[in-house]
Amino acid sequence: MERRSIGSLSVSAVGLGCNNFGARLDQEQTQAVVDAAIASGITFFDTADVYGATASEVFLGKALGAKREHVIVASKFGMPLDDQHYGAAPAYVKSACEDSLRRLNTEYIDLYQLHSPDDTVPIADTLGALADLVHEGKVRQIGCSNMSVEQLREARASNADVAFVSVQNQYSLLWREPETTGVLDECEKEHIGFLPYYPLANGLLTGKIRPGEPLPQNTRLAMMPAERSAHWLSEAFSAKVATLLAYAAEIEVPILTLAFSWLLSRPAVSSVIAGASTPEQVHANTDAVQQLPDDVIASLDALTA
C-alpha cells in the first residue's frame, strides 16, 4: 500500500479507526480486524482514550502484541472520560499520556493528538507539556483534532518546542467544510498532514445504504440513537447520496472507491482513517483505493459542492 508522511512518520494511505474496539467489538473480534488490517498493508492505527470507555486502547495493545514496533499507533486525549478526566491542562496531558501508555502496553505513542480544543488552557501551556513528553521519548509526534485555521495559527505562533504535524477533522464527499473554512489549504501550505474522520459519512458512502430503503441491520446508522441518525439521514444528505450512487453506476466505479480515492486525491490528506467491524470490511476498504482520472475528480467536486 502507498505510504504517506505525517511529520517524521510514514503511514499507510488507508488507516484503521479503532473506535469500534471495546464498544461494538470484543477482544477476539478486535484481533481478527487488526490481523486483517496488517495483512492488507495497513500500518496506521488510530484510537483514543475515550473510545470504548478506554477499552479500545487495551484491546488494540493486546491485538498488536509483538507487531507493535512495526506499526504506527495514534491516540488522543482531552475528551471527557468522566467529570474529572478531560481537557488540555499540562498536568492532565501528562497523566492522560501515562494512562494511555499503560493501556496500550507500549513505551511510546507515535502520534499523540489533542482530541478537542480546550479554551480554558493557553495552547502554549498544552504544547509545553506535549514537548516534555516528546523529549522524554513517550511521544514521537503530536497532532490535533477539530481545530480551526485560527487555532492552528495560534498554536504555530506560540513558538513552542514542538508543533502539530497533523489535524484530524471531519471531511468526506458529503462534508466539505475543511475546504470552505480554509483548513485544508492551511495544512497544505504549512505541511500539516490532514486526517479525515467520518470519510464514509457513517456508512452513507459504502454503497450499503440506499436512500428511501430501510437501513441494513447491524450498520452503524441502524444502531445509532434516532436523535443522532436523523442528522445523517437528512434530506440533504440523502439527495447527495442518491446523486453519487447514480454517478457511480454510470461510470461503473463503486461509491466506496469514489469516497476513498477522492479524499486521497487531495494533496494535504496523509491517510484516510476508516473504522471496520469485520475483516471483510477491512479488505473492502483497502481494495477500494485507486487513482481516479481528473475528469472523475472534477465531476465529484461538482456533484457534491
Among the listed residues 51, 86, 108, 198, the single catalytic one is 51
DSSP assignment string, 218-240? TSHHHHS-HHHHHHHTSHHHHHH
C-alpha cell at 143: 497532532
Query: Which residues on neighbouring strands pair with residue 111, listed in sequence order?
Result: 74, 141
Is 75:109 a contact under the CB 8 Å cutoff? yes
Closest CA to 164 of 187, 137, 138: 187
Rounded alpha-carbon distances, angstroms, from residue 36 to 1, 30, 166, 207: 14, 10, 26, 21
Cross-strand bridge partners of residue 74: 46, 111
267-285 in b/e burial notation, b at 16+ Cβ within 10 A? ebbbbbbbbbbebebbebb
Concerning whether 86 is annotated as a catalytic residue, the answer is no
261 in Cβ contact with 290 (< 8 Å): yes
Q: Which grid cell sits at 278?
A: 469485520
Give Cα 164 to chain centroid, integer Å: 15
Pair 263, 171: CB distance under 8 Å:
yes
Known catalytic residues are: 51
